[in-house]
Amino acid sequence: MSITSTEDTAERLARLEQTIEHLLAEAKRLGASAAEASVGSSAGLEVGVRLGEVETVEHTRDNGLSITVYFGHRRGSSSTTDLSHDSLRAAVKAACAIAAHTQEDPCANLADAALMAHGVLDLDLYHPWPIGVEEAVRIAAECEDAARGFDPRIVNSEGASLSAHSGLQVYGNSHGFVGGYPSTRHGLSCAVIGEEGDTMQRDYWWTSARAAADLEPARLVGERAAQRTVARLGGRQLDTCKAPVLFRAEVATGLVRSLVSAISGSSLYRRASFLLDHLGERIFPEFVRIHEEPHLPRGLSSAPFDGDGVATWAKDLVSEGVLRTYVLDTYSGCRMKLPTTGNAGGVRNLVVAMGERDRAGMLALMGTGLFVTELMGHGVNAVTGDYSRGAAGFWVENGEIAYPVEEITIAGNLKSMYANLVAVGNDCDFSGSTRNGSWLIDEMTIAGQ
C-alpha cells in the first residue's frame, strides 16, 4: 500500500492532474467564471513499540480533494475524500450551490495569472522509504531500548514510534496552471517516564526528515528522550519574581510562530494582531534576521508554489530588526491593498540568524534566571500580544543549572519581549521547518508559590 516506484508516481501524478482538469472543466460547464482545485493522495506506515513489544501497526492511506468556484466575485467551496467520478461531479455542484448564497467580495479571486509558477522546481522532497513492518519495529525498539537503558530512574515508557509517509499533491486553476509533485516525510519519536520519590516526569524527543538517511540515529533519539526526562526529576516551584528567561531552541520556535501569526494577512485585515501597521518598523533589536527559504532542498516545508499557484521566493521577514514584509496570500493581500507574498498556506522554512554563543554561553550570558524547556497552554493573546503560559525548566544561578522547576507561569507582552531580545544562541539542535537557537529575553514575570 505504499508508493515505491517512481514510474508509478509519474503515472499517478498524471492521473491526479487529469482529475484537476476534469474538475475545472466541470466548474466551467456549470457556469463558474473561475475555479481552482487541489487534490492529494498519500500512504504510509506507522509502527509503535512499547516496553519492547509491538503496540500498534497502522497502515494509512488518505485521499482528499477540494475545489473553490468563483461566479464573478462570489465564492463557494467543497471538499471530499472520495475521488470517484460521481463524487467529483457532486463536489463541483455543491461548491456552485454554496456560491449561490455567498455575497460579492471584491477580493474573492484567483491570483494574478502572471504570478503562476513556471514549471515545478524539483526541491528534492521525494525519498520513499520502502520499509517493512519488521524493520520498522526493530528501529523503534532500538530507540526505546536506548531510552529505557539510559538511567535506572527511567521506570516506564509511552513507547517509540516510527512513521514513513509518501504522498502526491496537485494544484490547478482556470488560468491553465496545473502543477504537482511527490514528497515524503519520515519520523521517529520516543517518550519515557522517570520516577523519583513519589513523583513521575515524562519527556520525549523526535526527529523528522524528507529522507530516512537524514533522521537522527534511533539510539540517539532514545537517549535524548531519557536525558530530558531524567533532568526534570525533583522539580520544585519558584517564588513569584521577575527574572530573565532563556527559551530553549525548540521552545523559542513558538515565539517565531506567534510573530508569523501576527504578521499574517488574515490577522491583519481583521485587525486581530498586535503588530498592525508595523511594516518597515523596528520590532526587534538590530541583530535579528528571520529569513524564509521556501526552496531549501529537502526542507520540511519547502514548496515550489503556494496554495494559490503563485511561485514562492526567498525573502527576509525581519532584517536588522525591522519588519520587512507581511505574510500574505492573494486574498489577504487584496484586503491589505498589497501584492501577495506567495504565502498561501503559510511560511515555508524559516531561518533565524544565530549568534556566537552555544548553550553554555547563553546560560552564562543570562547569569541568574529561568531556562524554560517546556511551555503549556494557550495563553497568547494575538490581538494584544499579552503572553502568559505554564512553564517548566531549570533555575540557573551564575550561568550554571541549579535545579529543575515546574508548576510556574511566565508572563509578559510579545511586543516588548521581541524588542528586548538580548541574544539568539547557536544551539539549534532539533529537526523542524524553523532553524532557530535559544532566545534570551531580558525580563519576564514568573509566578509560583
Partner 1 sequence: MNDPITIARNSILVPARLDDHHLDRLLGLLAGSHLDAADIYFQKSRLQSWVLEDGVIKDGNFSIEQGVGIRAVSGEKTGFAYSDELEYPALAQAAEAARAIARAGSQARVRIGHVQAQRRLYEPIDPLESLPDEDKVELLRRVDAEAKRQDTRIKEVTASIVAVQDTVLVLSDDGTLAADVRPLVRLNISVIAEDQGHREQGGSGGGARTDLGWFLLEDRALEFAREAVRLALTNLEAEPAPAGSMTVVLGPGWPGVLLHEAIGHGLEGDFNRKGTSAFAGRVGERVAAPGVTVVDDGTLPGRRGSLNMDDEGTTTQSTVLIENGILRGYMQDKLNARLMGVRSTGNGRRESYAHLPMPRMTNTYMLAGTHDPREIIASVERGLYAVNFGGGQVDITSGKFVFSTSEAYLIEGGKIGRPVKGATLIGNGPDVLTRVSMIGNDLSLDTGVGTCGKEGQSVPVGVGQPTLRIDSLTVGGTGSE
Which residues inside 176-195 make contact with partner 1, applying CB under 8 A?
193
3-state secondary structure of 172: strand
Contact flag: residue 381 with partner 1 (CB under 8 A): yes
CA distance 394 to 392: 7
Out of 91, 140, 147, 230, which residue is the one contacting partner 1 (CB under 8 A)? Answer: 91
Out of 25, 113, 360, 376, which residue is the one contacting partner 1 (CB under 8 A)? Answer: 376
DSSP string, 357-383: --HHHHHHHH-SEEEEEEEES--B-TT
C-beta of 201 vs 438, nearer to partner 1: 201
Q: How many residues does the chain have?
A: 449
Smallest distance from partner 1 to CB 78, Å: 4
Out of 363, 406, 430, 437, which residue is the one contacting partner 1 (CB under 8 A)? Answer: 406
Q: Treating both helix axes as pointing N-terminal to C-terminal, what angle do 218-232 and 133-148 enclose, rounded to 10 degrees?
A: 30
**Short-list 78, 1, 65, CA closest to 32:** 78
Binding to partner 1 by CB under 8 A, coded x per residue (else -) over 199-218, reads: xxxx----------------
- Give the Cβ contact number of residue 128 at 10 Å: 21
C-beta of 29 vs 59, nearer to partner 1: 59
Out of 272, 336, 353, 364, which residue is the one contacting partner 1 (CB under 8 A)? Answer: 272
Contact flag: residue 50 with partner 1 (CB under 8 A): yes
Asked whether the beta carbons of 34 and 3 are under 8 A apart, the reply is: no
Smallest distance from partner 1 to CB 256, Å: 20
CA distance 136 to 159: 13
C-beta of 187 vs 355, nearer to partner 1: 187
Among the residue ranges 102-110, 112-120, 171-179, 180-188, the one whose residues contact partner 1 (CB under 8 A) = 102-110
Q: Which residues of 236-256 are buried (b: 16+ CB within 10 A; e: fewer)?
A: eebeeeebbbbbbbbbbbbbb
Instruction: Tell me which DSSP letter residue 110 carries.
Output: P
Among the residue ranges 20-28, 117-125, 287-295, 411-419, the one whose residues contact partner 1 (CB under 8 A) = 411-419
Among the residue ranges 14-22, 402-410, 421-429, 434-442, the one whose residues contact partner 1 (CB under 8 A) = 402-410
Out of 30, 54, 220, 322, which residue is the one contacting partner 1 (CB under 8 A)? Answer: 54
Contact flag: residue 379 with partner 1 (CB under 8 A): yes
Phi then psi for 163, rounded to 5 degrees?
-135, 145
CA distance 338 to 343: 13
C-beta of 78 vs 174, nearer to partner 1: 78
Contact flag: residue 87 with partner 1 (CB under 8 A): yes
Among the residue ranges 13-21, 71-79, 253-261, 280-288, the one whose residues contact partner 1 (CB under 8 A) = 71-79
Positions in 124-163 near partner 1 (CB under 8 A): 133, 156, 158
Asked whether the beta carbons of 343 and 303 are under 8 A apart, the reply is: no
Q: How far is CA 288 from the centre of its chain?
A: 21
Q: Which triple of cell numbers denotes residue 128?
A: 520513499
Out of 5, 6, 384, 398, which residue is the one contacting partner 1 (CB under 8 A)? Answer: 384
